[in-house]
Structure 1
Amino acid sequence: MLKRLLIVAVAALAATAATAQVGPPTSQRTCSANRQLVLKEGAVVLDTSPSTYARFVKNGSECLFGQFPEPAWVPSSNNPQCFIGYRCRDGVEDF
């Protein structure tokens, strides 16, 4: 019984670690690949440099109450300023 419990625990840890891994930085993917990832997932955290991570969303419905979507650009392998989607910002929009 203890052996089965240990196997289940190790499998759960391995699955958690696999989902927590970060993919390649945005600069190592094409602009369209970065954009498609955001569109597919709806909201995703990506690394934009060796020490910078940010959450990108496909539209404002992915933002929390009181936040608004702000256009976001990231470096990609074929475009230094690739429009990837939006970032959620606190506050209200000024029009």
Structure 2
Amino acid sequence: MRRLLALALILPALPALAQTRPDTTAMSCGQARGTVARAGGIVLGTGGPTYDRFVRDRRFCEPTEFTKAAFAPTRDNPRCFVGYTCFEPGASDWPGDY
């Protein structure tokens, strides 16, 4: 009975483990930019095991974070502007640098 209960609790989570994140290298620059714009904030693969979280604008960051331009490799552009990434400014960051 315990095994059946454990199986019933685990099975619904299995599809989530198999999900893959969208990869910018399989998209055109416009598709990658559009994906970020539609989602607002999304984690995208950027080739191989690398990934990052891209956002449409600062509303998708934490209140103490700022945005900086983010570029990712796409099928048709090795340095495509896809949106922004959020970052927490440090003491050495100047306001005009971000």
Unpaired runs of 5+ residues, structure 1, are none
Match of 1:75 among 66, 73, 76: 73
Q: Tell me if structure 2 keeps the 8 A contact 1:73–1:83.
A: yes
State the secondary structure of the residue aligned to 1:71: strand
State the secondary structure of the residue aligned to 1:14: helix
Unpaired runs of 5+ residues, structure 2, are none
Partner of 2:21: 22
Using the size of structure 2 for normalisation, the TM-score is 0.77
CA-based RMSD of the aligned residues comes to 2.2
Partner of 2:42: 44
CA distance in structure 2 between the partners assigned to 1:93 and 1:68 by the alignment? 12
Q: Tell me if structure 2 keeps the 8 A contact 1:67–1:88.
A: yes
State the percentage of identical aligned residues.
Answer: 29
Q: Which has the higher strand share?
A: 1
Deviation beyond 6 Å, 4+ runs, structure 1? none
**Number of residues paired by the alignment?**
93
